Amino acid sequence: MPANTDVSEIYLEVQPADIAYIKFIIESYEILGIIRTVDRTKALIVVLAVPDALDLTHGVLAALGREIPIKQIPRPEEMGDDWLLTELEL
């Protein structure tokens, strides 16, 4: 049976100084997801989470939001469908 390769994208605006902290917390729990910086100047990041862990990932983000400013935002309109591949080519 093939593995489920779907991921959920959770876009966040954060303080630049908090990106490393958020990345450490999310990625230290292997099932929560991975963090990618979408726009360094705006401190815009995305959490790529698997559907099975989505509720847990949102719970951890909510807990982090009680410590540091985190604002969940919709996917930016100017982003193309293959933004991650474009980012990796740089």
Q: What is the pLDDT along the chain (90 residues), one digit of tens a residue?
A: 455 568 899 999 999 999 999 999 999 988 899 999 988 889 999 999 989 999 999 999 999 999 999 999 999 887 766 555 455 444
Q: CA 35, CA 40: separation in Å to the nearest integer?
A: 13
Q: What is the pTM of this model?
A: 0.81
Strand partners, 8: 49
Taken in order of first residue, the domains within the chain and their CATH numbers are 8-89 (3.30.70)
CA pseudo-torsion sign 65, 29, 6, 48: positive
